[in-house]
Amino acid sequence: MPDFAALREEMVARQIARRGITGRRLLDAFREVPREEFVPESVRDLAYEDGPLPIEAEQTISQPYIVALMIDAAGLAPGDKLLEIGAGSGYAAAVMSRIADEVVAIERRPELARLARARMARLGYDNVRIVEGDGSIGLPGEAPFEAILVAASGSHVPDVLRAQLATGGVLVMPLGAPDALQKLVKVTRRSADEYEEEDLGPVRFVPLIGREGWRAPDEITAPLPELIRRAAEPLPDLDDPGFGEMFDRFAAARLVLLGEASHGTSEFYRARAAITRRLIEHHGFSIVAVEADWPDAANVDRCVRHRPKREGEEASFERFPTWMWRNTDVDAFVRWLRRYNQGRAHEEMAGFYGLDLYNLGGSMRAVIDYLEGVDPEAAKVARRRYGCLEPWSRDPAAYGRMAVTEGYGRCEVGVTRMLKDMMARRMECARPECDEWLDAAANARLVRNAEEYYRVMYQGSAESWNLRDTHMYETLCQILEAKGPAARAIVWAHNSHIGNAAFTEMGREREELNIGQLVKERFGEQARLIGFGTHTGTVAAADDWDAPMQVKAVRPSLPDSYERMSHDAGVPAFLLDLRHGVTERALEEALTTPRLERFIGVIYRPETERWSHYAEAVLPNQFDAWVWFDETRAVTPLAGEHEAEAKGAEETYPFGL
């Protein structure tokens, strides 16, 4: 017979205390409760192993450290009343009863509830009450609770549970899809309607079944394509005013992020243009921020807001991949935006801004040109500081190679000082003069961040991706702040940038973040993320970076991918609203099983498509909505005869200076 008392003491020391949980009351509670009494006879000898164990009803008892982590996060104290959801064997409730005054634990499985009650009575834990029922809705009639611990994972923290917390109370719960890596969150109630959320790290739990949780597997009967078909809202033609109206439901947000599954598909550009026109004309949005370099987009912005061209200014988007922004769909939208702004007051105009950081040379020139007009002496300083980067301005990747070879960034100090000097000139943006300052400040930020980006890009890690997306997020925030608290923005960028990376393979396995994740963390429900997808058709793309553009056939989507499920729904074009509480519960749960999703950038290699263009994602957590076009076609580049066709009263500005 094992010496359970010695094993219990060793468990507390090695599995809990050594991992940083040192509260005396909590450690004493674990020392007091005999874990071997809460597991079946067949695994009693393993009761103090460092991991979960099977119990009755095909369930598990959690790893001791995870139980300790959740209790520690809850901050239990004598006098507290707490609610546990998912009583299981009753072990965690017994441990918590040694600290709190009253423990109420809900268990939905009758067998487990019966066994847990018997254990409490036999072991004398008379301040624990086991209740059989739906834990996903808690016990509203017995609230408030100083702590709520949920031992099962949900897609979200149910509002009905938040409401049962006392002010200052804490809820600890895992979030994520069943059979996937989840995150443990801590929610603290600060006031009647204010909650603070903290991520405690990755975990794995069984699913929370119930009205506010997942459906039991035997309750889900319809196949996913059928569930999509029932929920899909067919979209009218892209030229129909009703297309944009379909997206009015997202107009209350401050940020609407519009994605694309490739950088060369006409339907994605035309759809974003239609939605953007609607949001600008009818809902007061005034910022269009795109996945493009700031100086190139600034040329377009001067055109659409009827500001004079800069002397010696280059045409926009003349570097690879030119078709991404120099195409007939973007040209049509830019011309519409110029007409919309005609005759409007400066503060009523909608602007066009770039978020990306590739045009290093253009940004350095823009900062110097601005300073020449307002402070020639400062312009001299800028020339000296940027002189370090000038040899690499046309080929900044060469600077990255040099930095790797030499082991440091020789230009870092100068570009950082230049940014600080520009930010010291900060001004209010209620007057036209602000546009020039905002332009110069954004360019100074681009130079600083691009220097670091090209320095780390050869390391082959997530760092360069994260630097780029953080730069785009910071630039977006800078525009919003400059335009004032009422400013509202629309973002055009690839799905990989605007879908929440925390719920994709990017974030889970590669530790990459993106704009969508960052805006959700800061703006919450005031940011809406809308992804786009297609099954087949054609796309404008290249074989390699700097290679010629080709019109390529898009292979039919892979079996069991989100795209194939959308195709099999049989609706040619649709909007799928993925917001919790709007989506049918069965569909939300079915979609939350991680699946492959296709990402085509400016490079498309059909022969290696599975490995180069698919990644795993959880669609309803990644996006607030999914826009589907079953068959799509490539964009038409704005060049040659197409550029000539686009000429009008304004000639070819801003694309043909």
Positions marked catalytic: 62
Dist CA 649 CA 294 (whole Å): 26
Dist CA 565 CA 561 (whole Å): 6
**Distance in angstroms between the alpha carbons of the first and the last residue of the chain:** 87
Residue 305 tokens read as 């807001």
Which residue is listed with tokens 């989100």? Answer: 562
Residue 520 tokens read as 């959700």
Dist CA 399 CA 412 (whole Å): 12
Q: Got the DSSP string for 247-274? A: TGGGTTSSEEEE--SSSSBHHHHHHHHH
Neighbours of 481 (CB within 10 A): 13
Q: Strand 489-492 relative to strand 595-598: parallel, antiparallel, unpaired? A: unpaired
Q: Strand 489-492 relative to strand 255-258: parallel, antiparallel, unpaired? A: parallel
Dist CA 618 CA 599 (whole Å): 14
Residue 631 tokens read as 């068959």
Residue 347 tokens read as 């503060």
Neighbours of 375 (CB within 10 A): 14
SS (H, E, C) 80-110: CEEEEECCCCCHHHHHHHCCCCEEEEEECCH
Helices within 86-189 (DSSP H only):
91-97, 110-123, 159-162
Q: What letter would DSSP give residue 621?
A: H
Dist CA 128 CA 148 (whole Å): 14
Query: Cα dist. 362→105, 171, 443 in Å?
Result: 63, 50, 8
